[in-house]
Structure 1
Amino acid sequence: MTNRARIFIYILFIAAAALAFWSNRVPLQNTFFIKAVILYWFFSTLYFHLRTMSRKGNVTLDYGMNYSLSFVMFSGPLGILIFESIYRFSNYFYKKITKTADPDEFEHIFYNVGSFVFQNTISYYVFQSLQQYFQAIPFGFWILMFFLATINAVISDTFLTIIFYYLGEIKSREEVFHFFKSRSIPDLGKISFTNGMLFVFLQEGNWEILISFFILNYLVNHSFIEKAQYLQNKLERDQFEQMAYTDFLTGISNRALMDKKMAELNQGNEPIGIVVTDLDKFKIINDTYNHAVGDRVIQHFAATLNSYLNQGDFLFRSGGEEFTLFLRNRDYDQTVAFVEKIRQGVENSQVLAEFNGENVSIPYTASFGLYFYDVTENISMEKGYIYADQLLLQSKQHGRNQLSAKNELIHI
């Protein structure tokens, strides 16, 4: 943390503490105030592990439900200073014990206490000044609570922006605007409604309802966090699986997914055409140009093959310049005609690539082997793939740029 950031933090803390002591007001009896502090501290600490965390450069931000607005409305600026100090120091010791504290965690205490006391003190005086005017408006109390939550958010984001500026994490007006824009109206509504209800129950001294509302709020947010975490984990698993099953060069499925689909299709009993295809004289392309151009040809070949497929078909990169197709929902004649159409499409296409600073157009062809049969226990997909590969070799031996096909339906 930079010296300028530390100076700002301590100035903020001193200013907030001065405002609180200047007000010198804890409006209720000490026993009532102590009960409220203990209750708020307990549920704020309980809620602490439900917070969400994000990283902004070298700074870790904690986001979670905060009950300070209702507490300052109940106890005044000095009360919120006492509560925030107890709460933030207890969090600090918890992080130290669990070894989750940041290197500048001690400074974070003074920033959090200073920031929350200052912004809630401002909201407290705004509330005291405006509540009489909002009482005459339908739902005026809740409108005022939303206004106070918005004031808190703006002041909090202003302080954070200053800190990020001193730390070098924010360098432009656009980044400042984006940071302020990250606040959502539903979040502000949740904060204003929760704190409004807590304040009403505190004023009435209804401890049973107050505790019940705390518990309800905790259970709802706990359930939401669990579901959000589940969805996040599922998204990460799906992304990882997609990466694991995707060929990096062409963006289509790789050999690992091909093996998985083979195992799945082995469980069925359907006619299927296994096609193995390979670029003709690919080594000459690499030797004539370079491997970058060769990669461009492979990418173009993959895209061309993929453009012909229907729903239910599969395409995999099964080797260097070799691709495998599983063609379904067709009879043998339809499959042969389909593969022949693909072969002609490849023959009539050309790859545009850059070589030695010039754009070159490269024609190419491919050979195909098609093995068509019913998937059964006698001939698995793995065996069918071997037979299709042998038919591809036959096409190569007969002059390339052709299709060799075999129909071997087996009915059990």
Structure 2
Amino acid sequence: MYKLKLFIIGIFITGLIVAITSGPIEIEIALYFKVFFVYLFFTTLYSHLKTVVKTGNVNIDYSISYGLSFVLFTGPLGLFLFEIVNRFYVYFYRKKTGTADEDEFLHTFYNIGGPGLLHSLGYFIFYGLYPYVEEIPFGYWGLLIAIVALTDFLSSILLLTIFHISGSINTGQDAWDFIKGRSILDTMKKAVSNGLLFIFLLEQQWEILIALFILNYLVSRSAVLQSRSIQHKIERDRFEQMAYTDFLTKVHNRTYMNKVMNELNESEEHIGIIVTDIDTFKRINDAYNHTVGDSVIQHFATTLKNFLKDEDYLFRSGGEEFTIILRNRGYQECRQLVEQLQKSIQDTPAVSEFKSRQITISYTASFGLYFYQSNLETNIKHAYIHADDLLYKAKNQGKNQVSSKNGIIDLPLSARYAAAIEKMEI
């Protein structure tokens, strides 16, 4: 911590020395204060946008910096005085709102000295090279982009040094990832914004200057709000996925099954509902333990899932019981798929670990399939009950069996006729 304090204070003192030795403020004091308060108003707005990202023990502000245009117009001393007021406003605001980190006061000195020093470097480069590029088309803008790119790179080096001293970054890959994280678009945006602001300052175009500040603020605010909205959606989707996912098998749970059933109930689709469970599962738990039993359930779920299409659904509807909803298939296709599932389960044992050795466990499963068309005479939950009854029938027939029924064929003639009439074009 001592090295970190020494390094940051060293940057601050160096920036202060450069500011003082570079000469007095280069514009009239009345004009300076006018520029000062306009810039202060709009730059402090960014402290309320929460564009701060915490990396390790340090807060990094990724909002746009207007320091280059300020230093080009007022000189290094004018910028340094501005940064003192601006950064201490941010410090006191964060302390008041409880958003300051533990070393906020120390970081404030870096946030004054670092930008002050780097923008002063940009000031000397600009006035040293501008006479040579003044007559070149777009020479002004090219020079500004080069200066912003250089100062951004040097800023990254200073920050990486701070992170290394504080222990936040310890590998070359972490350092490289941080440097790559700098956006070229942000560099361009900063160069163009500062270039326009400097031109408007020179021409005293206050209305256009303020309009540019407002535009940048609105764009930044919109981006922040959009980012928050996306983050909230990601969090909502994550929580919803957790609420609808079985923790053991990672397939959908019974809660999600009820939701899907309600959605499909009036879809008029041909649907095959399969209810299946592992035969004599209690025997596996009794012979081994529940951990081995869980491995068998996981193997069962994976095997079932491997035979399904993306539009199908697989749910863990009980302990070792699973429910499958097949869509956009005919009855015979559903029946063939169930027979394939039954055979695959029979021929593919599960692998687990018991008493520090690997074991294979052969098991079988029984299946009940009910095929029907939704929104006719059978509610989807009634169809599920039919499939469950068919599973019970398969168990009674000796287990490792498939019991199925085509509910469309069994509909009364009047219901089938009505369904056909509804599909006819008149």
**Interval of TM-score (by shorter of Structure 1 and Structure 2):** over 0.9
C-alpha distance in 2 between matches for 1:319 and 1:58: 47
| 2:402 corresponds to | 403
**Which consecutive unaligned segments of at least 5 residues does structure 2 have?**
419-426
C-alpha distance in 2 between matches for 1:100 and 1:214: 25
Residues 100-159 of structure 1: CA deviation (Å, up to 9, x unaligned): 222322222211101111111111111121112222432111111111111221221122
Preserved contact between residue 51 and residue 63 of structure 1 (Cα < 8 Å): no
| 1:111 corresponds to | 110
Amino acid at match of 2:7: F
Preserved contact between residue 275 and residue 322 of structure 2 (Cα < 8 Å): yes
| 1:75 corresponds to | 74
| 1:244 corresponds to | 243
User: Following superposition, which runs of at least 4 residues in structure 1 exceed 4 angstroms of deviation?
Assistant: none
Shift of 1:378: 5.5
Shift of 1:33: 1.0
C-alpha distance in 2 between matches for 1:129 and 1:358: 75
Residues 203-248 of structure 1: CA deviation (Å, up to 9, x unaligned): 1111111111111222222222222322222222222222222222
Shift of 1:192: 0.9
| 2:424 corresponds to | none
Pairing 1:350–2:312 present: no
C-alpha distance in 2 between matches for 1:363 and 1:88: 69
Amino acid at match of 2:173: E
Pairing 1:6–2:13 present: no
Shift of 1:394: 2.1
Q: Could you tell which deviates more after superposition, 124-133 or 380-389?
A: 380-389
Preserved contact between residue 12 and residue 111 of structure 1 (Cα < 8 Å): yes
Residues 15-70 of structure 1: CA deviation (Å, up to 9, x unaligned): 11111111123111111111111111111112322342322223332211110111
C-alpha distance in 2 between matches for 1:134 and 1:319: 76
Preserved contact between residue 276 and residue 325 of structure 1 (Cα < 8 Å): yes
Amino acid at match of 2:136: I
Residues 291-349 of structure 1: CA deviation (Å, up to 9, x unaligned): 33332322222121112123432111112211101122233333222212221222222
Shift of 1:357: 4.3
Residues 73-94 of structure 1: CA deviation (Å, up to 9, x unaligned): 1111101111111111111222
Pairing 1:304–2:303 present: yes
| 1:328 corresponds to | 327
C-alpha distance in 2 between matches for 1:176 and 1:336: 58
SS at match of 2:52: strand
C-alpha distance in 1 between matches for 2:200 and 2:375: 71
C-alpha distance in 1 between matches for 2:41 and 2:365: 71
Preserved contact between residue 366 and residue 399 of structure 2 (Cα < 8 Å): yes
| 2:182 corresponds to | 183
**Which consecutive unaligned segments of at least 5 residues does structure 1 have?**
none
Amino acid at match of 2:240: E
Q: Could you tell which deviates more after superposition, 284-293 or 72-81?
A: 284-293
C-alpha distance in 2 between matches for 1:160 and 1:44: 21
Amino acid at match of 1:308: F
SS at match of 1:171: coil
Preserved contact between residue 27 and residue 75 of structure 1 (Cα < 8 Å): yes
Residues 311, 108 of structure 1: CA spacing in aligned structure 2 closer, same or farther, 3 A cutoff? closer
Preserved contact between residue 268 and residue 376 of structure 2 (Cα < 8 Å): no
Shift of 1:191: 0.9
Preserved contact between residue 274 and residue 326 of structure 1 (Cα < 8 Å): yes
- Tell me the number of residue pairs that the alignment of Structure 1 and Structure 2 aligns: 411
Shift of 1:373: 2.7
Q: Given the two structures, how large is their TM-score scaled by the length of structure 1?
A: 0.93
Shift of 1:377: 7.7
| 1:143 corresponds to | 142
Preserved contact between residue 266 and residue 377 of structure 1 (Cα < 8 Å): no
Amino acid at match of 1:239: R
| 1:27 corresponds to | 26
C-alpha distance in 1 between matches for 2:124 and 2:371: 81
Pairing 1:91–2:90 present: yes
Shift of 1:387: 2.7
| 1:48 corresponds to | 47
SS at match of 2:75: helix
| 1:100 corresponds to | 99
Pairing 1:201–2:200 present: yes
Preserved contact between residue 273 and residue 371 of structure 1 (Cα < 8 Å): yes
C-alpha distance in 1 between matches for 2:10 and 2:375: 78
